[in-house]
Structure 1
Amino acid sequence: MQRIIIKVGSHVISEDNALSLKRLGNLVEFLTTLMKKYEVILVTSAAISAGYTKLNIDRKNLINKQVLAAIGQPYLMSVYNEFLSKFNKIGGQILLTAKDFDSRKATKHAKNAIDAMINLGILPIINENDATAIEEIVFGDNDSLSAYATYYFGANLLVILSDIDGFYDKNPSEFKDAKRLDKVDKILDSWLDMSVKTGSEHGTGGIITKLKAAKFLLENNKKMFLASGFDLSVIKAFLLENKQIGGTLFEN
């Protein structure tokens, strides 16, 4: 059975300083359907956003971000598990930092836990350990984390569900004639100099972090698919019907 990683951004599953329970519910229902066909690993953002729903403090302050992540992570997991329980599934939490991928021993231990969860029918739910990974809070993003997880945890494909519905030949927010690319087999250096903002002030990723993730995966003979997390019809068609009706596939 093919192993895939689904990464969802904070801007997809949160809005107006709260978790979007409707989109979270739709996501979990989709994930449980995928689990019948694939070995599925979820990489989720939004621990800090989840914490902010419980404690209204300045989230621009670094220490406050750590506190919000510490509060928000268990709450986020409880919401995932509440939805998963409707399908007789449970999720298992794995918190990682960039340092974990620097150690082959730590990476192997994490993969062993993930393999065991999948064999038991548990959905592994990975997030960055924002309560301790200081530099990752300031500079990090889960696009990079999910790309490394795809490579080191034996997945064939990374799916990024975002507020960006695909990769365009130019900034679609600035150019009306921008065209979405169905398939990309090489990341050009000039693309990494572009600037496309995310749809949320709380998201740390943008198109650049996604292109960097794609570049890493292409260099390691892995695939990535970028699609909207607001409308799951594109990714459902791609993964369940083997049809590409939107999004962008990064593949050699």
Structure 2
Amino acid sequence: MSGVREQVTEARRIVVKIGSSSLTTTDGGLAADRVDALVEALATSPAEVVLVSSGAIAAGLAPLGLPRRPRDLATQQAAASVGQGLLMRAYNDAFARHARVVGQVLLTVDDVTRRAHYRNAYRTLRRLLDLKAIPIVNENDTVATQEIRFGDNDRLAALVAALVDADLLVLLSDVDGLYTGDPSLPTSRAITDVHSFADLDGVDIRRPGRAGLGTGGMVTKVEAARIATTSGIPVVLAAAPQAAEVLTGRPVGTFFHRQRQRPQARLFWLAHATTPRGRLILDAGAVRAVVSRHASLLPAGITAVDGRFAAGDPVDLVDAGGVPVARGLVNYDAVELPPLLGRSTSDLAAELGPAYEREVVHRDDLVLL
């Protein structure tokens, strides 16, 4: 590898995610030297930086006398309650030595899946950056039941990168990049660039991180890279000790090239930051109309309705085999739809009134999956 990654050195705003195993010792306590090394790399970067940090649960293990990451939710939340304060104190002290101010931003799943919350999170992060502070984002582990299964903050980091309109996402962990197989095997080779996710066909990414401390693995990192790159944001996957090299553009780790230009923020939110409340099963003609012609979804093309949702909720549009082809904001409540299925809008308007001469999902409120 040689040269400098210009997409890194030219980035004006960077989101950096650090995993639990890169911040803690084997017994669960925070490793001060690791925190200091990370902070030095971030504090000296000329770019605006948002840090998405795991580690609250891991940091709370030792003070509570817990030998390993607990399996039950209540104890995980108790550990997070103790560890979050310790984690922020460590960051605050380390950044203060570089005359940098930090701000804590705790998010729940709702904050990145509900549109109004999503906008509020953006305003907070944007204002912190305007004030030259470094936002430190973490899931609110003490109250969020779904976060514990949220991919060790990898997906959250990709969503935050899109939320703040970042130019780069850096995923730091205890592995120095993506390999064709188990890195400990001599037959495995490092993958330095991913231009298309077809490049990963046949690559085993199911290896977990360091056991007992984090929840994420390579699967969650590749999925986070997919979300970011399809949103126009390149991604670097590298080991935490390589943070300074990454931010100066050195070609270390694995570089995921952006897959396309940045989509509208609204459509990104719909595709990646929403949880579908139900499903609409489409016939073959409706699938072709939605996917190939980018048409709105009409009642005539729906064969069945699944789930409980209200007008305005996100729903998945699936084919006859149950495969999601699109996601959209539905214009009807779930209980209203069954009598309308298979019927034309003109017939419905004639029988039920002009209010029923409308799309089930308008094409402007629909994104292909």
TM-score of the alignment, normalized to the shorter chain, above 0.5: yes
Residue in 2 that maps onto 1:247: 253
**3-state DSSP of counterpart to 2:191:** coil
CA contact (8 A) 2:52 2:153 kept: yes
Residue in 2 that maps onto 1:47: 56
Residue correspondence of structure 1 range 75-224 to structure 2 within 5 A: 75-173=86-184, 175-188=185-198, 190=201, 194-224=205-235
Going from structure 1 to structure 2, the CA distance change for 1:159 and 1:194 (only over 3 Å counts) comes to: closer
- Residue type of the partner of 2:63? K
- Residue type of the partner of 1:207? M
- Residue type of the partner of 2:109? A
CA contact (8 A) 2:24 2:31 kept: yes
Aligned-pair RMSD on alpha carbons? 1.8
Sequence identity (%) = 34
Structure 1, 200-209 or 49-58: larger mean CA deviation: 49-58
**Cα distance in structure 2, aligned partners of 1:134 and 1:47:** 15
- Residue type of the partner of 1:237? E
**Cα distance in structure 2, aligned partners of 1:72 and 1:165:** 26
**Cα distance in structure 2, aligned partners of 1:217 and 1:85:** 31
Deviations 1:5-61 (A, max 9, x none): 010000000012211100101111111101xx1010000001011111221247222
CA contact (8 A) 2:238 2:254 kept: yes
Structure 1, 181-190 or 86-95: larger mean CA deviation: 181-190
Residue in 2 that maps onto 1:14: 24
**3-state DSSP of counterpart to 1:113:** helix
Q: Displacement, 1:193?
A: 6.1
Q: Displacement, 1:107?
A: 1.5
**Cα distance in structure 2, aligned partners of 1:27 and 1:238:** 11
- Residue type of the partner of 1:236? A
CA contact (8 A) 2:29 2:60 kept: no
**Cα distance in structure 1, aligned partners of 2:119 and 2:29:** 35
Q: Displacement, 1:190?
A: 4.6
Structure 1, 19-28 or 51-60: larger mean CA deviation: 51-60
**3-state DSSP of counterpart to 1:68:** helix
CA contact (8 A) 1:150 1:158 kept: yes
CA contact (8 A) 1:3 1:40 kept: yes
Q: Compute the TM-score of the two structures, normalised by the length of structure 1.
A: 0.91
**3-state DSSP of counterpart to 1:124:** strand
Q: Displacement, 1:138?
A: 3.7
**3-state DSSP of counterpart to 2:78:** helix
CA contact (8 A) 1:192 1:211 kept: no
Q: Compute the TM-score of the two structures, normalised by the length of structure 2.
A: 0.63
Q: Displacement, 1:192?
A: 7.9
CA contact (8 A) 1:9 1:46 kept: yes
Q: Displacement, 1:218?
A: 1.9
Deviations 1:184-217 (A, max 9, x none): 0222475686421212321111110001011111
CA contact (8 A) 1:18 1:49 kept: yes
Computing the radius of gyration over CA atoms, which structure comes out larger, 1 or 2?
Answer: 2
Counting matched residue pairs gives 244
**Cα distance in structure 2, aligned partners of 1:70 and 1:248:** 34
**Cα distance in structure 1, aligned partners of 2:163 and 2:18:** 19
